[in-house]
Amino acid sequence: MKSFRKEDIIAKPVIETSGTVKGKVKDVTFDLSGTITLIVEGADGKDFQVPISKVTGISDDVVVRSDSATGPVATATGLACRFCGKPMAPGQTWCPNCGKAQA
């Protein structure tokens, strides 16, 4: 599997699998639990987070799963919220971090 450096993805367009352009990568963050998140600057100039678990590919663009997907996202360490990327326990229908419904 190919590794990517922060410098390799900064300023790349972020495009959903549906074809919608969401913005450009502004930064990459991680927390002590190992969750990696892209900070994306939207067309409106506001930043939002995209968990790395939503990224399906990186080339000239960063391709992410569309928000129309339902349910938590499976990760190497368990389940994660499909919106904020924070870990979730199996069976949870609401994210304990951001409060968004997963169904």
CA distance 9 to 14: 10
- State the Cα–Cα distance between residues 89 and 87, nearest whole angstrom: 7
Instruction: Answer whether 0.85 is exceeded by the pTM.
Output: no
- For the chain, which domains are there? 6-67 (2.30.30.240), 70-103 (no CATH)
- Please give the pLDDT value at position 81: 76
In our burial notation (b when 16+ CB lie closer than 10 A, e otherwise), range 54-76 reads bbeeeeeebbbbeeeeeebbebe
- pLDDT (0 to 100) of residue 77: 59
Q: Quick one: pLDDT at residue 43?
A: 87
Q: What is the mean pLDDT of each run of 10 residues along the chain (103 residues)?
A: 90 88 94 91 92 90 76 63 77 79 72
Residue-level pLDDT at 67: 67
